Chain A
Amino acid sequence: MGRCGERVADGSVDGVIEVNELTKRYGGTTAVNGLTFTVRSGRVTGFLGPNGAGKSTTLRLILGLNAPTSGTVTVHGRPFRDHRRGLRHVGALLDAGDVHGGRTARAHLTALAVANRIPRTRVAQVLAEVGLSGAAGRRIGGFSLGMRQRLGIAAALLGDPPVLLFDEPLNGLDPEGVQWVRGLFRGLAAEGRTVFVSSHLMSEMEHTADELVVVGRGELIAAESLPEFAARGGSHSVTVVTPEPAALAAALTAEGGTVREADGVLSVTGLKAAAIGELALRQGVPLHELTPRASLEEAFMELTADRVEYTAGGAR
């Protein structure tokens, strides 16, 4: 699809989206409060927070659709609104519903392409890439949410931009669609592009993002790599199923692990899955299941819960 693969040439990780002390108030409501973070190129950055955390507002501020109450936000060092045309700089899917239902998918994309002096041939390309070629002549009003998400992704890809923003892109997609979107994001990042994806579900980001920006109540909770964030979730646990739980539990405890048993299923902390497997082999204990539990979800829940508690009880 004619992307510029050379962007990745030096594996650059420079800050592309720079959010600095960004604050947005609507009347008496503070949607975003002193937010500062950087999104870098060549990786997928997840933008995570519970509903109402200010994610969509932040994305609108990045795109200049809304003006900040204070603070700045730049893309490649410039406020986005300084560009006369946007699609070659930033491709964005804010809300799959931000389309006129009376138009066909082709007409919608063609108007966007024409306004940005993008060749009309590109419309068929992006429609094919998102799997909507067969629906190009149909009116968007009859599209399912999943199809609208695909159309929004097609619009974001139109200008072959180095920066892509997606707000909750997985909503309404079927499992095949989710897999496809994850692969697409990873591919875009591998080409050196900056991919910034919001979600309110940690599980969606777990297999997609390299970096996380986590917000709650409009404030920054964390901006770090996925493993760093996972480490905040406290102890990792491993679920172990064995026909000889008592024997294995004793061996694990002797090895320094902490074991909790419920209905014959062991929940082990303090030992990695590999160590548990090797220990079981040495002890001759058969294992039916050995599953490391991701603590990302836990970390996310803990941190955002803290934030809600903190803001509700503290002085604002």
Chain B
Amino acid sequence: MTAATLPVAEPRARFVDLLAAEWLKFWSLRSTPWFLLLAGLAVVGFNVGSAYDHYRNWQYYDAESQANFVANGLPLVDAFTSNAELILLLATSALGALAVTGEYGSGSIRTTFAAVPARGSVMAAKACVVAVVLTAFGAVVAGVSFWLSQALLSARDAGVSIDHPGAWRVVVASALLAPVSGLVGAAIGAVVRHSATAVIGGVVVLPLLPTFFSEGRYWSATIRHALPERAWRELTRTVDWGGTPYPMTTGGAWTVYAVWAAVAFVLTVVAVRHRDQ
């Protein structure tokens, strides 16, 4: 037998090894834990700040406002405010994008793909790590936000427990917005392969795009309701004020989350298949 045909002894390729490698790469950057910590503090800070405003100004509300505070759904508004949601979208989509574009910016993507020619598997592992980390991140910030905001409001007898109708939905929908947004960022990163462009892309697609479409026309409302940011608003809305000609459903909103996550995942994997690296 000649050297040219000598087989190389090789253990079976396992996806779990790629997960372990991507996990290691994700946490081996010093900026990652700091970024998550600061983003988490900002999100929790906006929510607690809103609850604190209600707590501090409680004495100035008239009796009717005080009596209807819970019925109007305000405790759950404080549990996760739209300001906190904006910060969450920006931070998580940027993190997802940078997890991918960081490799292109540094050129390490070539080292990665030369070591693992199964490119799609690498990107799938990367997306899984982003999704898992951000699900945990979302759970922590949404859970802590709910707990702290309701603890503050309870001092005015205006807080609700997690058993309150819609409370779980607000917490879970806010928590899961993190991995959905992170996967969207990763997909944009895999397509554009440039850090600044990908981060801006995340801003345009997630918080900005819904503002271009109104609720007034059917086609416009349909597009608007298919966007993850609107899905979060629907899922965290606990009082039906009416007035929307084409209302959205809770089931539809969960579906939007699932479809965006799935499509983003597939796009991240497929984007690297045929292009030169």
Contacts and interface: CB of A to CB of B under 8 A. Distances in A.
Given A65-B114, A103-B25, A111-B21, A97 B107 contact: yes
Contacts of B3: 7-8, 10, 12, 14, 16, 41-42, 162, 192
Nearest to A40: B4
A64 B103 CA distance: 18
A87 interface: yes
Contact of A65 (B110, B121, B122): B110
B6 A162 contact: yes
Nearest to A97: B107
Interface in B76-117: 102-103, 106-117
Contacts of A192: 3
A229 to B, nearest CB: 24
A44 B204 CA distance: 52
Nearest to B18: A115
A114 interface: yes
A2 B107 CA distance: 30
Contacts of A66: 276-277
Interface stretch (B8-16, B41-49, B169-177): B8-16
A112 B113 CA distance: 10
B117 A100 contact: no
B17 to A, nearest CB: 5
Interface residue tally on B, bucketed by range: 35 or more
Given A83-B117, A84-B13, A100-B103, A41 B111 contact: no
Interface in A242-266: none
Q: Per DSSP, are chain B's interface residues mostly helix, strand or loop, or mixed?
A: helix
Interface string B162-196: 00000000000000000000000000000000000
B276 A100 contact: no
B17 A103 contact: no
Contacts of A161: 8
Given A76-B5, A85-B118, A101 B106 contact: yes
B4 A117 contact: no
A114 B20 contact: yes
A66 to B, nearest CB: 4
A66 B277 CA distance: 6
B217 interface: no
A10 B29 contact: no
A115 B4 contact: no
Main secondary structure of the interface of A (DSSP, over half): loop
Contacts of B59: none
B111 A112 contact: yes
Nearest to B122: A115
B24 interface: yes
Contacts of B20: 114-115
A303 B100 CA distance: 43
B117 A99 contact: no
Contact of B6 (A7, A64, A83, A92): A7
A116 B103 contact: no
Contact of B108 (A87, A92, A98): A98
A15 interface: yes
B116 A85 contact: yes
A122 to B, nearest CB: 13
Contact of A87 (B103, B106, B115): B115
B10 A88 contact: yes
Nearest to B21: A115
A65 B119 CA distance: 10
Contacts of A115: 17-18, 20-21, 115-116, 122
B276 A67 contact: yes
Given A67-B276, A84-B13, A88-B8, A103 B116 contact: no
Contacts of B18: 115
B14 A86 contact: no
Contacts of A103: 25, 28-29
Nearest to A83: B117
Nearest to A90: B114
Interface string A98-131: 1111111001101110111100000000000000
A155 B111 CA distance: 9
Interface of B: 2-6, 8-11, 13-14, 17-18, 20-22, 24-25, 28-31, 102-103, 106-118, 121-122, 274, 276-277
18 contacts: A7-B6, A10-B2, A14-B5, A65-B276, A84-B121, A86-B116, A88-B9, A89-B8, A92-B114, A94-B114, A95-B107, A98-B108, A98-B109, A100-B25, A100-B106, A103-B25, A110-B24, A112-B111
Given A67-B274, A86-B114, A114-B17, 7 more contacts: A42-B3, A65-B276, A94-B110, A99-B108, A100-B103, A111-B28, A162-B8
Interface of A: 7-8, 10, 12, 14-16, 41-42, 60, 63-67, 76-77, 80-90, 92, 94-95, 97-104, 107-108, 110-112, 114-117, 139, 155, 161-162, 192
> What 3 A-B pairs come out closest when comparing CB atoms?
A14-B4, A115-B21, A107-B28
